[in-house]
Structure 1
Amino acid sequence: MRNFGPFDSFSDALKATCPLILSKPNATVVHLREQDPELALRVSTEYCAWLYYTPEHKYELSMLTDLSAPGSALRREASCLLPPNVDDPRYPPSSIKYIFLLHNHPFAGEISEKDIHLAATMANAHGLVSQLGNRQIPLSVVAFFTNSKDAHHPTCDGFHQYIPATRELMKWLSTERGWRSEKMGTVNWISATTFVITRE
């Protein structure tokens, strides 16, 4: 099932999806962070979806979900439970290529430990890299953010990204010329479940 797309490039898809997700109710609580941090924690909502590649050589967005991950309320954090597979009856399940795990960070924070573990789990399920024609695209987790305090018209200021294939933590900023990237660090796995981050 779909609710957005198709797009010819993942860059176009990210540009369109970022404001779409950030416009959802309480997807950003930057405006509440200083004046009422307790309320900001209580109402913040994380939305997530898959950006995937179809046999028709297009990028599409799955249905958005705001279903909370178990225990997120006790940890006092917004957390979204993303299904591991896309339900698109037009195509055989094996023909769908999984590209980005998209979500928002209501407080504009960096990639979390939860995000890193989720990306690793999904990469194990779908592969670190997808072959799209003559291109290879690594699976990654993306967290959109805004620095705007305008709750009704938040700007898409960029996104944080973790790429399991390269172990890189990236920050992308929206500019008039497109996305500008900055490497923030590297995830070094000590075991199957434990890692440390080396900052740039």
Structure 2
Amino acid sequence: MPGFGPFDTFSDALIAACPLILSKPHATAGRPGTQDFELRWRISKEYCAWLYYTPAGKYEMSMLTDQSAQDDLDRRRSCLLPATVDDARFPPGSLKYVFALHNHPYAGRLSDGDLRMITSMGRTHEWVVQVRGKKVPLSVVAFFSNSNDLEHPSCDGFFQYIPVTGELKKWTGDASSGWRQELLGTVTWQDEEHYRIDEK
């Protein structure tokens, strides 16, 4: 279901989504090695949502979900993102899926599950959508905070994986100073199950 928006650009939507998602209960765990990090990690949660483009020419974010996959060893957090958004304002099949958004409780890179999830979604949706004459590739985004202030965490950046190009990126900065991107590596899939990462 629709959550918040609309936004004219996906950049505006990402800037708004980052602090919103990180402000949810237990969305951040602070920095590894700091006091109480292990406890904060154990109770942390991932929240996820779709950022999509509508026939009205705007970007919208779906409602957040914190439904998570089971991990009996408590080694990771993963949010189960529904494959589609039910937005009753628009005809079925008319939405264009752009970004799968979620948080990481600390500034860790994208996980194996993140890479597999968005690759699976690419087989369901379009790998690249046309928006106002421009091509926008499907990708997964994980917001993070470097702050130990769990009540008002800063939005310090996000990791991004773009399946159609294979690029793994890290974006840092903020809305006022601008965002800087760093290419971390490239993912190459050998088949539907196996891949390798060539780090930069």
TM-score range, shorter chain: over 0.9
Distance in 2 separating the partners of 1:190 and 1:19? 36
Offset of residue 73 of structure 1:
4.2
Secondary structure at the residue paired with 2:18?
helix
**1:81 equivalent in alignment to 2:80:** yes
Offset of residue 77 of structure 1:
1.6
Distance in 2 separating the partners of 1:194 and 1:31? 31
The number of residue pairs the alignment matches comes to 199
Secondary structure at the residue paired with 1:5?
strand
Secondary structure at the residue paired with 2:141?
strand
Distance in 1 separating the partners of 2:109 and 2:32? 18
Distance in 2 separating the partners of 1:3 and 1:50? 9
**1:18 equivalent in alignment to 2:18:** yes
Q: Which residue of 1 aligns with 2:36?
A: 36
Q: Aligned-residue CA RMSD in angstroms?
A: 1.4
Q: Which residue of 1 aligns with 2:124?
A: 125
Distance in 1 separating the partners of 2:31 and 2:182? 26
Secondary structure at the residue paired with 2:115?
helix
Distance in 2 separating the partners of 1:75 and 1:85? 28
Distance in 2 separating the partners of 1:110 and 1:38? 18
Output the TM-score relative to the length of structure 2: 0.95
Distance in 1 separating the partners of 2:187 and 2:49? 23
Distance in 2 separating the partners of 1:190 and 1:83? 26
In structure 1, stretches of 5+ residues that fail to align are: none
The answer as to whether partners of 1:185 and 1:198 remain within 8 angstroms in 2 is: yes
Q: Which residue of 2 aligns with 1:145?
A: 144
Q: Which residue of 1 aligns with 2:179?
A: 179
Q: Which residue of 2 aligns with 1:112?
A: 111
Residues 166-186 of structure 1, C-alpha deviations (whole Å, 9 max, x = no match): 000001112433211111100
What percentage of aligned pairs have identical amino acids?
57
In structure 2, stretches of 5+ residues that fail to align are: none
Instruction: Pick closer, same or farther for the CA change 1:136–1:30 going to 2, 3 Å.
Output: same
The answer as to whether partners of 2:31 and 2:106 remain within 8 angstroms in 1 is: no
Residues 103-150 of structure 1, C-alpha deviations (whole Å, 9 max, x = no match): 000021111111000010001110210111301100000000010111
Offset of residue 31 of structure 1:
5.3
The answer as to whether partners of 2:42 and 2:74 remain within 8 angstroms in 1 is: no
Task: Give the structure with the larger helix fraction.
Answer: 1
Output the TM-score relative to the length of structure 1: 0.95
